Amino acid sequence: MRKAVIGIVLGLAGTAQADEVVIAALGDSLTQGYGLPADQGFVPQLQRWLDAQGAEAHLINAGVSGDTTAGGLARVDWTLTPEVDAMIVTLGGNDLLRGLIPAQARENLQGILKAADRSEVDVLLVGMEAPGNYGPDYKAQFDVIYPELAAEFGSLYLESFFAGLRDGGVLPDPVTLRPYFQTDGIHPNAEGVSRIVEGIGPKVLELIARTED
């Protein structure tokens, strides 16, 4: 397993113990923790959840607000520093907001997964689902990107960043989800992040176990 000793990763990482699995969370504002106190964002809350499970893991917040899949591809190589053992990839939301061509998102995500392969880094790929307002063809093309790439590269896969907000596998009516979002209706508040972490946490434990095999 590729692991360095204690280090700082481009100012984003804190001190990691030598026996910890180091995980880079590559994403956009949802990962970065937009609009929230520093300790209530996705990465800090997920770190506390993992600590409570007894997982020996250290998370690096590699989320950049506004980033597209192209932005993630542009910085993946310097995100995958030698001490990184695994990576959570949560990108695509800004591609959707801008109505970018699904084929471009696929190519960018494929490039990210190829970089992870080159660095021998295990990946959890978190999916995104296109809204219906772009039409059924766009939605069909976009939604299959993530499961198909996960199968192609043998990555772990979670169907949606918002899986923890689902009720019995179904996303509730948006009105009922308002208490879990900030006023922009896009970014989760601290309570929403807590539920999101509950949904993604078990997959991250699988990711950690995979790095230890």
Structure tokens at 125: 């790929």
How far apart are the C-alpha atoms of 144 and 156, rounded to whole Å? Answer: 15
Structure tokens at 24: 């880079």
Counting every residue, how long is the chain? Answer: 213
User: Residues 19, 137, 173, 184: which is the catalytic one?
Assistant: 184
User: Residues 85, 95, 155, 187: which is the catalytic one?
Assistant: 187
Torsion sign (Cα): 11, 12, 15, 17 = negative
Residues 150/157, Cβ–Cβ less than 8 Å:
yes
User: Residues 28, 29, 122, 160: which is the catalytic one?
Assistant: 29
**Catalytic: 85?**
no
Q: What is the chain's alpha carbon radius of gyration, rounded to the nearest angstrom?
A: 16
Exposure string over 141-172, b if 16+ CB within 10 A, otherwise e: bbbebbeebbeebebbbbbbbbbbbeeeeeee
**Catalytic: 187?**
yes
The residue type of 68 is T
SS3 156: strand
**Catalytic: 29?**
yes
From 6, 46, 61, select the one nearest 204 (Cα to Cα).
Answer: 46
Residues involved in catalysis: 29, 184, 187
